[in-house]
Amino acid sequence: QTVVTQEPSFSVSPGGTVTLTCGLSSASVSTNYCPSWYQQTPGQAPRTLIYNTNTRSSGVPDRFSGSILGNKAALTITGAQADDESDYYCLLYMGSGSWVFGGGTKLTVL
């Protein structure tokens, strides 16, 4: 079973910049995996932030950006705000009509 890795937790100061990553245990993540990113606050459904590696979903502030950094997909938050404190999940397309979520990163803003 393919494992998609994310940092379990991360902390950022208000106004700071943080980069969360999404990797594979046995390969490099490329745009072919069509990485997407989702934000989830407690008790809520996930919200789509980024798709196709680096395209922001409608209504998502431009402080959120996606990219490939080295061999991983990355979500960067520039100028973090208190309400960015959430869980963040990446999703990778593994081909043949199957997908795998990363384990999620709990982001604290303090």
Partner 1 sequence: QVQLQESGPGLVKPSETLSLTCTVSGGSISGRYWGWIRQPPGKGLEWIGYVYYSGNTNYNPSLKSRVSISVDTSKNQFSLKLSSVTAADTAIYFCARYATSTFPNWFDPWGQGTLVIVSS
Q: Which residues bind partner 1 (CB under 8 A)?
A: 1, 32-34, 36, 38, 40, 44-48, 51-52, 57, 89, 91, 93, 96-104
CB of 29 to partner 1, least distance (A): 13
DSSP letters for 56-93? EPTT--TTEEEEEETTEEEEEEES--GGG-SEEEEEEE
Instruction: Let me know: does 101 contact 93? Beta carbons within 8 Å.
Output: no
Taking the least distance from each CB to partner 1, the nearer of 14 and 49 is: 49
The alpha carbon torsion through 54, 55, 57, 59 (nearest 10 deg) reads 100
Taking the least distance from each CB to partner 1, the nearer of 17 and 43 is: 43
Taking the least distance from each CB to partner 1, the nearer of 27 and 79 is: 27
CB of 10 to partner 1, least distance (A): 15
